[in-house]
Amino acid sequence: MTNLTEQQLVQAYRRMKTIREFEERLHIEIATGQIAGFTHLYAGQEAIAVGVCEHLSDADSIVSTHRGHGHCIAKGADVLKMMKEIWGSTEGTCNGKGGSMHIAEVERGILGANGIVGGGPPIGVGAALASKLKKNNTVALSFGGDGSSNQGTTFEAMNMAVCLKVPKIFVMENNGYSENTGASYSSGGIDIAARAESFGMPVFKADGSDFFSVYDAANKAIEYSRRGDGPSVVYATMMRYFGHFEGDAQLYRAKDEVKNLRETSDCLDNFRTRVSDDKLLDLAVLDAVDDEVLALIEQSVQDAKVAPRGTLADVTKDVYINY
């Protein structure tokens, strides 16, 4: 039923769990007022980021969104540095310059979270174009939400990718909302995956609460693009567990929406059920992973709290390479 090795399964679970705990902990820490800025939590949608990124190596690239923690962790970003970045330390991923919305590890193929909705897809086309020109068999992905599918830049990127026939995968994450507005309203009730299809790209749909569903869809899309057939699309649906950003009162959501999601559509639960039903893994292995992840997150927060902060001299550093 699945051709994933045990090691791969454990890694997938570990990454989903790491994202989950990273976000759950941030939710708590942010409430204490220690973390500045806008933080958009990904919890709930972990299966999408991980289901997609498990197909990638460091040589492949992703471009993420404002809701980027999940994508970055799934692509292998350094969690300790990420936490420090979010706390604003000079030891963070971006030396405290970027924060939650701009986590990037370019040498690991993470071309940045992105605070501009629709900012990422054109950049992903460029990374894919580099793959094509270098003929190095890599692919590039960009993530985007239902909301971002209304931004003109997303369409331009899709058409450009088709025109230039680059190995680009558009991951469309429909989580039902763009900020406080329902996805169905924003698109006049019309299926947003159809937009991608209208450019002639194959669209592979997945249940975003099910790692295996996403993994399979992503496999097809990435294989299609990697073998040189041009861009493709992964379309996955799953709602977020938290507000649009931390501080969002979520009055646009029905009272029990998240409670129900957590009970019936949790990707970690689904994963555990599946691997146990299909006897793919011993659940005790995953319990051990849970402990390790919790310890890692605890450490990351302890480290971040005491990590050094920048000073005036740092402000004007790294605007240019030379000037």
Partner 1 sequence: MPIKTARDALNEAMFHEFARDPNVFAIGEDIAGGRGGSSGDIGCVGGIFGVTKGLVAEFGEERVIDTPISESAIVGAAAGAALSGMRPVAEIMFADFFGVCLDQVMNQVAKFRYMFGGKTKCPLVIRCNTGAGYSAAAQHSQTMYQMMTAIPGLKVVVPSNAYDAKGLLISAIQDDDPVLFFEHKLLYQSECEVPDEAYAIPFGEAAMPREGEHCTVVAFGQMVNVAAQAIDSLAAEGITCDLIDPRTTSPLDEETILESVEATGRLVVVDESPPRCGLTADIAGMVADKGFSSLRAPIKQVTAPHSPVPFAAELEAAYLPKAQDVAAAIRETLK
Chain residues that interact with ligand TPP, rule: CB under 6 A: 66-67, 115-118, 144-148, 175, 177-179, 244
> Which residue among 11, 90, 95, 186 contacts a copy of itself (CB under 8 A)?
186
Residues 51-110 that bind partner 1 (CB under 8 A): 61, 63, 85, 88-90, 92-99, 101-102, 104-107
Quick one: tokens of 179?
A: 């900020």
129: three-class secondary structure by DSSP: helix
Total residues at interface with a copy of itself (CB under 8 A): 24
Which residues, other chains included, contact 174 with Cβ-Cβ below 8 Å and sequence gap of 6+? 145, 146, 183, 192, 208, 235, 236, 237
Q: In the β-sheet with 203-207, what is the strand arrangement from edge to edge?
A: 61-63, 140-145, 168-174, 232-237, 203-207
Indicate whether 252 belongs to the interface with partner 1 (CB under 8 A): yes
Indicate whether 175 belongs to the interface with Mg ion (CB under 5 A): yes
Residues 194-233 that bind a copy of itself (CB under 8 A): 194-195, 197-200, 230
Indicate whether 32 belongs to the interface with partner 1 (CB under 8 A): no
Closer residue to ligand TPP, CB minimum distance, 69 or 81:
69
Closer residue to ligand TPP, CB minimum distance, 69 or 132:
69
Indicate whether 156 belongs to the interface with a copy of itself (CB under 8 A): yes
> Which residue among 24, 102, 155, 261 contacts a copy of itself (CB under 8 A)?
155
Indicate whether 132 belongs to the interface with a copy of itself (CB under 8 A): no
Which residues, other chains included, contact 201 with Cβ-Cβ below 8 Å and sequence gap of 6+? 158, 161, 162, 170, 230, 231, 232, 233
Classify residue 39 by burial, with Cβ atoms within 10 Å: 0-12, 13-18, 19+: buried
Rounded to whole angstroms, how far apart are CA atoms 268 and 14?
10
Rounded to whole angstroms, how far apart are CA atoms 102 and 113?
5
Residues 176-205 that bind Mg ion (CB under 5 A): 177-178
Strands 181-182 and 203-207: unpaired
> Which residue among 3, 7, 32, 322 contacts partner 1 (CB under 8 A)?
322
Residue pointed to by tokens 């402000």: 315
Residue pointed to by tokens 């680009």: 168
Task: Check the CA dihedral 190-195-197-200 and report its sign.
Answer: positive
Rounded to whole angstroms, how far apart are CA atoms 265 and 271?
10
When CB distances are held under 5 to 8 angstroms depending on the partner's kind, the choice from partner 1, Mg ion, ligand TPP, none that residue 67 binds is ligand TPP
**Minimum distance of Mg ion from residue 67's CB (angstroms):** 8
> Which residue among 2, 24, 78, 150 contacts partner 1 (CB under 8 A)?
150
Question: Which residues, in sequence order, are bridge partners of residue 157?
Answer: none
Closer residue to ligand TPP, CB minimum distance, 117 or 281:
117
Indicate whether 190 belongs to the interface with a copy of itself (CB under 8 A): yes
Quick one: tokens of 26?
A: 């941030």
| Length of the chain in terms of residues written | 323
Closer residue to a copy of itself, CB minimum distance, 148 or 237:
148
Indicate whether 114 belongs to the interface with partner 1 (CB under 8 A): yes
Indicate whether 112 belongs to the interface with partner 1 (CB under 8 A): yes
Rounded to whole angstroms, how far apart are CA atoms 209 and 118?
24
When CB distances are held under 5 to 8 angstroms depending on the partner's kind, the choice from a copy of itself, ligand TPP, partner 1, none that residue 199 binds is a copy of itself
Indicate whether 145 belongs to the interface with Mg ion (CB under 5 A): yes
When CB distances are held under 5 to 8 angstroms depending on the partner's kind, the choice from a copy of itself, ligand TPP, Mg ion, none that residue 33 binds is none
Q: Which residues bind Mg ion (CB under 5 A)?
A: 145-147, 175, 177-178
